[in-house]
Amino acid sequence: MINREVRPAESVSEAVVQAVSTVEDCHPRALPSLYGVVNPEALNDLFRWDSEHETRQRNLVSFRFSESVVTIDADECIRVESSV
Protein backbone atom coordinates (compact mmCIF):
# COMPACT_ATOMS: atom_id res chain seq x y z
CA MET A 1 0.00 0.00 0.00
CA ILE A 2 1.14 3.53 -0.68
CA ASN A 3 -0.18 7.02 -0.04
CA ARG A 4 0.78 9.66 -2.57
CA GLU A 5 -0.22 13.27 -3.10
CA VAL A 6 -0.88 14.73 -6.52
CA ARG A 7 2.05 16.94 -7.49
CA PRO A 8 1.43 20.48 -8.78
CA ALA A 9 2.54 19.67 -12.34
CA GLU A 10 0.39 16.54 -12.79
CA SER A 11 -3.27 15.69 -13.07
CA VAL A 12 -5.10 13.39 -10.69
CA SER A 13 -5.39 10.74 -13.40
CA GLU A 14 -1.64 10.87 -14.12
CA ALA A 15 -0.90 10.54 -10.41
CA VAL A 16 -3.20 7.50 -10.18
CA VAL A 17 -1.36 5.72 -13.00
CA GLN A 18 2.02 6.50 -11.41
CA ALA A 19 0.89 5.33 -7.97
CA VAL A 20 -0.59 2.07 -9.27
CA SER A 21 2.53 1.34 -11.32
CA THR A 22 4.60 1.80 -8.16
CA VAL A 23 2.43 -0.58 -6.13
CA GLU A 24 2.34 -3.16 -8.91
CA ASP A 25 6.04 -2.70 -9.69
CA CYS A 26 5.59 -2.15 -13.41
CA HIS A 27 6.01 0.55 -16.03
CA PRO A 28 2.91 2.81 -16.31
CA ARG A 29 2.46 1.75 -19.95
CA ALA A 30 2.20 -1.89 -18.84
CA LEU A 31 -1.05 -1.07 -17.01
CA PRO A 32 -4.43 -1.39 -18.70
CA SER A 33 -6.01 1.83 -19.92
CA LEU A 34 -7.51 3.95 -17.15
CA TYR A 35 -10.37 4.67 -19.60
CA GLY A 36 -11.51 1.08 -19.09
CA VAL A 37 -12.37 1.94 -15.48
CA VAL A 38 -13.01 5.66 -15.22
CA ASN A 39 -13.02 8.68 -17.53
CA PRO A 40 -9.71 10.45 -16.72
CA GLU A 41 -11.05 13.90 -17.64
CA ALA A 42 -14.07 13.44 -15.37
CA LEU A 43 -11.77 12.23 -12.58
CA ASN A 44 -9.59 15.32 -12.98
CA ASP A 45 -12.68 17.55 -12.97
CA LEU A 46 -13.89 16.07 -9.67
CA PHE A 47 -10.81 17.44 -7.92
CA ARG A 48 -10.48 20.75 -9.76
CA TRP A 49 -10.09 23.96 -7.78
CA ASP A 50 -13.38 25.91 -7.57
CA SER A 51 -12.14 29.48 -8.09
CA GLU A 52 -15.63 30.94 -7.68
CA HIS A 53 -15.82 29.67 -4.10
CA GLU A 54 -12.05 29.55 -3.54
CA THR A 55 -12.27 26.00 -2.27
CA ARG A 56 -11.63 22.50 -3.45
CA GLN A 57 -14.60 20.35 -4.11
CA ARG A 58 -15.03 17.83 -1.27
CA ASN A 59 -15.06 14.57 -3.17
CA LEU A 60 -13.97 11.04 -2.31
CA VAL A 61 -13.62 8.44 -5.04
CA SER A 62 -12.70 4.79 -4.85
CA PHE A 63 -12.37 2.29 -7.71
CA ARG A 64 -10.51 -0.80 -8.89
CA PHE A 65 -7.77 -0.27 -11.45
CA SER A 66 -5.62 -3.11 -12.71
CA GLU A 67 -4.88 -5.24 -9.63
CA SER A 68 -5.31 -2.40 -7.14
CA VAL A 69 -7.96 -0.47 -5.25
CA VAL A 70 -7.51 3.29 -5.60
CA THR A 71 -9.00 5.84 -3.22
CA ILE A 72 -8.63 9.58 -3.74
CA ASP A 73 -9.71 11.98 -1.01
CA ALA A 74 -10.67 15.64 -1.20
CA ASP A 75 -7.08 16.74 -0.48
CA GLU A 76 -5.88 14.84 -3.57
CA CYS A 77 -4.18 12.18 -1.49
CA ILE A 78 -4.18 8.91 -3.41
CA ARG A 79 -4.14 5.61 -1.55
CA VAL A 80 -3.41 2.48 -3.55
CA GLU A 81 -3.76 -1.01 -2.12
CA SER A 82 -3.09 -4.24 -3.96
CA SER A 83 -6.28 -6.28 -4.38
CA VAL A 84 -4.41 -9.52 -5.09
Question: What's the whole-number average pLDDT of the chain?
Answer: 90
What is the pLDDT at residue 57? 59
SS3 9: coil
pLDDT over 80 at 22, yes or no: yes
What is the pLDDT at residue 49? 66
Cβ-count burial 52-69 (b if 16+ within 10 Å, e if not) = eeeeeeeeebeeebbebb
Q: Does the predicted model carry a pTM greater than 0.85? A: yes
